[in-house]
Structures are given as structure tokens and as C-alpha cells.
Amino acid sequence: MQQQQIPSFPTIGVITPHAAAGPEAEWPLITGHRVDTRLARISAPGGTVTEPGTPPTSPAGLRSLADLNVLSGAAACLLDRGPVDAIGFASTSTGYVIGHIAEAALLEQLSRRLRVPVDGTSAAVVTALQTLGVTRLQLVHPPWIDRELNELGAAYFRNEGFDVVATVSAKLPNDPRQIQAADVVTWVSNHLDDAAQAVVMGGNGFRVAGAVEPLEQRIGRPVLAPNQVLLWALLRKLRIAGSVSGHGSLFQH
């Protein structure tokens, strides 16, 4: 199939309910600043676009924001600043809370309404695992992901037919800004379940894209990081010629 030719430097919008930096911090590093990232944060109850308020972290709070009108409102803020080629919903935990079927339906509705490709982090992981032929995985979450979200994450993938052989929150600094790629590589390597065919790291605030390549080299199996896999999924939807190198075997597919 001939690849569609679109601008070499796409503009991708990011919608997120979270306060921590995610794709907007990692995508420029992954792509060598070839992707222009435009961010809109969903305002928490009582917040505004400029002052989003305290974002929810509970399942009930996240579920309340997983609404087509809420996402469309955030997307409107992106589009007010000019057109975008695609939009990513950067919230792994929201996908966990509502489940893959509801998440996929929500993303498809948003895509039809905005007339641009849309994908979400958890949904992108499912696509990536299927593309790689992985059936057994280990989930690694940042320390701020609690037991309830760990269990919801495992259930999310099990409901899609994957065998989640282990689900853990990494013993790393609780501040995303203090997490170093070398420490992620060491911790995951030392806590890897031998049965896992791949490692999936969840949470868009878990900025671990720099750990993907060295970790794959050490453990000899694919590693999916949240912002890496969301970017891969959106570039795949855009059918952009060329590839990203140095950030995991996923970009070879």
C-alpha cells in the first residue's frame, strides 16, 4: 500500500486531565523536534482552561471526565490555535477505568466529530501488543499508581485477551521529575517476570521513553512506554513515511 504523503512536521494535539507533563515533554525528544505538540488540559470541576484546578485521580473522578462533550471542549481549545493532524488522549488511567470497549467508542466518536485521527494511550497499547504478537505481558506503573488502578490496569488487558503475568508499581521517586532512565532500566530488569513476552509501562506522567531502548537491549523483549506508544499509534494513523529510531523496536512496525 502506498503511504499517504502528509506534512513532514505534523501538528499533534494532546488532551489530558492530568497536571504532570507527559507527551509534550517526551515527543520532541523522541522525534528530534519533528512533531509540533499542542496541549490542552481538561479542567477539573470548578477549574477553567487557564486554571484547570486539581485534576481527579480517583476512578469516579476520571470516569466523569471521559465524556464526549468534555473532550470536545478541550479539543476546541486546541483547534482555536490552528488545525492539527491528529489528537491523542493522554490518560492511561482513564482507559483503565472505563475499559477498552468504552474507550475505543469514545475515541471513535471524537474522531468523527473532529474529522482527524484520534487515539488514546491504553487503546494504543492494545494495538501495539497485537501488532507485536504479544499475548503475555508485565505491567509496570509509577509509584503514584495505587493498588486499585493497578488492578484496573490488569483487568483492562485481561478483558482484551492478554495474560498479565505481573502488575507492579515501581519503587522509584514519587516525583516524575526525579525519575532517571538508568534507574528505570535497573529496577525493571531486577523485577522482570520471566514469563512476560513484553513490558508495558503505564501512566503518561511516567516519563520513561529514554529507558525503552536500553531496557529492550538488556531484557531482550519489547518495551512499551506510555508516551512512546501513543506517538507510535498516531503516526501510524497518519501513515507518515519514515520511522523513529532509537526509541524501541515498536517503531520498526
245: in domain:
no
What is the maximum span of the chain, computed from C-alpha positions, in angstroms? 48
Looking at the structure of the chain, the number of domains it has is: 2
246: in domain:
no
Q: Clarify whether residues 118 and 172 are in a common domain.
A: no
Q: Clarify whether residues 154 and 109 are in a common domain.
A: no
Q: Give the DSSP per-residue string, 201-247.
A: E--TT---HHHHHHHHHHHSS-EE-HHHHHHHHHHHHHT-SS---SS
pLDDT value of position 133:
96
6: in domain:
no
d(CA 106, CA 96): 13
Nearest residue to 201 via CA among 22, 13, 15, 18: 22
Q: Average pLDDT across each block of 10 residues of the chain; the chain has 253 residues. List them in order.
A: 51 88 89 89 60 60 83 90 94 93 96 95 97 97 91 96 95 91 96 97 92 96 96 92 75 86
84: in domain:
yes
Q: Clarify whether residues 109 and 142 are in a common domain.
A: no
Q: Clarify whether residues 104 and 137 are in a common domain.
A: no
23: in domain:
yes
pLDDT value of position 34:
87
Q: Clarify whether residues 24 and 97 are in a common domain.
A: yes
pLDDT value of position 56:
62
C-alpha cell, 236: 501510524
249: in domain:
no
The model's pLDDT over 17-60, given as tens digits with 9 standing for 90+, comes to 877 888 999 998 888 888 899 999 887 655 444 444 555 667 77
pLDDT value of position 6:
40
Q: Clarify whether residues 130 and 118 are in a common domain.
A: no
| pTM flag (> 0.85) | yes
Structural domain boundaries, residue 111: 11-122
In this structure, are residues 155 and 164 in contact, taking their beta carbons and an 8 Å threshold?
A: no
Q: Clarify whether residues 197 and 138 are in a common domain.
A: yes
Q: Clarify whether residues 20 and 107 are in a common domain.
A: yes
pLDDT value of position 57:
65
Q: Clarify whether residues 87 and 114 are in a common domain.
A: yes
Last residue of a domain, one of 81, 96, 122: 122
Q: Clarify whether residues 104 and 136 are in a common domain.
A: no
Nearest residue to 117 via CA among 247, 243, 9, 239: 239
Last residue of a domain, one of 122, 143, 164: 122
Last residue of a domain, one of 63, 87, 122: 122
pLDDT value of position 12:
94
- Residue 249, sorted as left (phi over 0), alpha (psi -120 to 50) or beta, turns out to be alpha
240: in domain:
no
Q: Clarify whether residues 118 and 130 are in a common domain.
A: no
CATH number at residue 73: 3.40.50.12500
65: in domain:
yes
pLDDT value of position 8:
61
| For the chain, the helix, strand and coil percentages under 3-state DSSP, each to the nearest 5 | 45, 15, 40
Q: Clarify whether residues 101 and 156 are in a common domain.
A: no
